[in-house]
């Protein structure tokens, strides 16, 4: 596991990522939505992930390493997880949520959310240890799928769409 920042006794401190989730510590995170017109890129988390394996999430969700800033972290993880480089990230919001992610683990995150517009010819090269599948979907179709089968999607993706849709997607909100 890697070392991330978490608030411990009122200050940021380096903490093992798994320990932060076991203790439900509030910690910084990053989420990226890659858009292609009115479609967003989803990834299905690899089955070997220590929480929420096999669930659909937005393009990239991660934790900055201790001392790492949000935007460079987002760029790094897009490359590591999906083989995506060179997109212009746009910071959309910072939100906080707390969610049970199973097996006694809790995500209590303060998330910097970014969007990026992809070229129609964008080539994905997913790392199979991170991502088992990808797909593009319109926001309207995604919301319909979540309504039908919420258990197929990560808690944070459901929270983002339910509480922060307009802030994240701005002009891409339709339907």
- Which residues are catalytically annotated? 61, 109
The helix (H) or strand (E) run that includes residue 173 is: none
Residue spans of alpha helices (H) in the chain: 17-23, 70-82, 139-148, 155-169
| Six token digits for residue 112 | 């910097």
Taking CA atoms, 36 is separated from 24, 45, 91, in Å, by 34, 20, 17
**Any idea what the Cα angle at residue 46 is, between residues 16 and 172, rounded to 5°?**
95
- Evaluate the CA torsion angle 50, 106, 98, 92 in order and state its sign: negative
- Gap between the Cα atoms of 101 and 93, Å rounded: 22
């Amino acid at each position: 596991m890697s070392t991330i920042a978490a608030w411990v006794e009122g200050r940021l401190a380096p903490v093992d990522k798994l320990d932060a989730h076991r203790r439900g510590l509030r910690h910084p995170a990053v989420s990226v939505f890659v858009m292609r017109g009115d479609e967003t890129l989803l990834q299905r988390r690899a089955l070997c992930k220590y929480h929420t394996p096999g669930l659909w999430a937005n393009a990239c969700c991660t934790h900055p390493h201790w001392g790492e800033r949000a935007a460079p972290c987002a760029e790094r993880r897009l490359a590591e997880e999906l083989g995506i480089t060179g997109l212009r990230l746009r910071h959309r919001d910072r939100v906080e949520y707390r969610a049970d992610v199973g097996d006694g683990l809790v995500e209590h995150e303060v998330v910097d959310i970014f969007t990026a517009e992809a070229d129609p010819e964008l080539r994905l090269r997913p790392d199979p240890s991170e991502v088992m599948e990808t797909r593009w979907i319109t926001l309207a179709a995604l919301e319909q799928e979540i309504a039908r089968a919420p258990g197929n999607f990560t808690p944070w993706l459901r929270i983002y769409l339910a509480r922060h849709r307009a802030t994240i997607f701005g002009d891409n909100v339709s339907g």
